[in-house]
Structure 1
Amino acid sequence: MADHERSTHAGRVLTGVVWTLLLLGLWLWGREVTDVRQDRSDPVAGDVAAVGRPASVRLPPVTRPLGGDARPLRLDIPGLDVRAPVVARGLDAHGAPDPPPYAQAGAVGWYAAGVRPGAAGAALMVGHLDTETRPAVFRHLGALRPGATLRVIRADGRVAVFTVEDVRTVPRDRFDAHQAYGVHRPGRAELRLITCAGTFDRATRGYTANLIVSAYLSGAVL
């Protein structure tokens, strides 16, 4: 095997290992941050509550992944009047993408070791629902519906345009990291927006569920 082939093979193996560890961490994270007492008074209804796509909503066609290696600078959600700076983040102590500190509750955290928005694969962005004193960047994320537009402004000057195709509230006892965070259709550029959902349990200081918005690349502005 040539040096170049060895390097490529090693890179693919390393990427696979990183994503396996990430998904394991996300599964543990999903269980931990939503772990609540079994006698909670306000359980989330259903196994997985999803916003179904209305029959009248026709989603635009998929756009091929963008080239380049540009990092995201800002996330715009026009329907929610959100224009949030994006900060690169790593993994927390539990092996999950680390959201911005509460002092930056208006920003969105992007898992920088993973996929860059607009590239093939599923890019992950995490934001707070609220803080102890005020709402945060993803406070109204659950209001999104299939067909809504998301825009990611990249460092190369391009704007990656995504279309929401699915909005799910996932209770902690039905959390599936591969389904929630893995690629839904191979070859597409996808985007996941993740925050807390359900009710807040003061005993465990955690929410009962996670909200996951799934979108795919449907356009690009140069």
Structure 2
Amino acid sequence: MFWTVALAVLLYAFGGRMFSTDAISPPAPAGPTATQQAPAPAPQPARPSASAPAGSGTSSASSPAMPRSAPIRLRIPKIRVDAPFTGLKIGPSGALDPPPADDTNLVGWQSSGISPGQRGTAIVAGHLDTKTSPAVFARLSELAPGDSFEVDRADGTTAVFLIDSVENFDKGDFPDQRVYADTPDPLVRLITCAGAYNRTARDYTENLVVFAHLDAIA
């Protein structure tokens, strides 16, 4: 089940719909392109271990976690993100359906997977830009270890996450196990595209991943 979800997320977040840099000049090196493309093949992941991957956070299995509850809003004050969530489902092709491509202020989460604050790795994906303007994760690369963000949840609670690292990975050498592996800790990954835009492949060359762990419950 884990790798079915992870593979679907990979197909969306790393090979899905993009927009060309001809349309805009985004302030951060990641995001969608102006022409549609077929999903790129996802790397074949190795089987993960049951323990948390290295660099995934400072929490432990004994640290507080939250019950499952759908996220409703993502707030990252440092980069002025205040965006609602939309639930993403796995479509007939096996890829995770993306958020609407023309919505500049929307993030998606894999709604049959881990919810932010719950034990495990929750995935939050967002576009960098649209055909006409920067989008919700346009400034994601400005985040740094020690920064925090909040997720408001449907049960009325707020999960506060502390960022451990912000890293770029080449799409041909993406560390699937480290990003997606099962873990006893409540973790979140914020993911978008990054790197140079390859006009031949009609895709960006890298992905930006923000690694974060649950720091507080409000």
* Structure 2: unaligned runs, 5 residues or longer: 18-54
Q: What is residue 201 of structure 1 aligned with on the other side?
A: 198
Q: 1:125 to 1:106 in 2, by over 3 A?
A: same
Q: 1:123 to 1:60 in 2, by over 3 A?
A: closer
**Residues in 1 aligned to 2:195 and 2:154: alpha-carbon distance in whole angstroms:** 35
**Residues in 1 aligned to 2:59 and 2:118: alpha-carbon distance in whole angstroms:** 16
| Partner AA of 2:100 in structure 1 | P
The 5-angstrom pairing of residues 1-222 of structure 1 reads 17=1, 19-27=2-10, 32=15, 63-67=63-67, 69-92=68-91, 95-183=94-182, 186-221=183-218
| Partner AA of 1:111 in structure 2 | Q
Query: What is the Cα deviation at residue 29 of structure 1?
Result: 5.6
| Number of residues of Structure 1 aligned to a counterpart in Structure 2 | 178
* Structure 1: unaligned runs, 5 residues or longer: 1-16, 35-52, 54-58
Q: 1:74 to 1:174 in 2, by over 3 A?
A: same
* Structure of higher CA gyration radius: 1
* Segment drifting more, 191-200 vs 24-33: 24-33
* Segment drifting more, 86-95 vs 135-144: 86-95
Maintained 8 Å contact 2:11/2:96: no
Query: What is the Cα deviation at residue 193 of structure 1?
Result: 0.5
Summarize deviations over 1:59-105 as a string: whole Å, max 9, x none.
986651113x3210000001111101001111256634333111223
Maintained 8 Å contact 2:71/2:151: yes
Query: What is the Cα deviation at residue 181 of structure 1?
Result: 2.0
| Partner AA of 2:103 in structure 1 | Q
Instruction: Give the TM-score of the pair, scaled to structure 2.
Output: 0.74
Maintained 8 Å contact 1:98/1:126: no
Instruction: Give the TM-score of the pair, scaled to structure 1.
Output: 0.72
Q: 1:80 to 1:210 in 2, by over 3 A?
A: same
| Partner AA of 1:70 in structure 2 | S
Maintained 8 Å contact 2:141/2:208: yes
Maintained 8 Å contact 1:98/1:111: no
More helix by share: 1
Identical positions, percent: 37
**Residues in 2 aligned to 1:30 and 1:102: alpha-carbon distance in whole angstroms:** 13
| Partner AA of 1:87 in structure 2 | T
Q: In angstroms, what is the RMSD of aligned CA positions?
A: 2.4
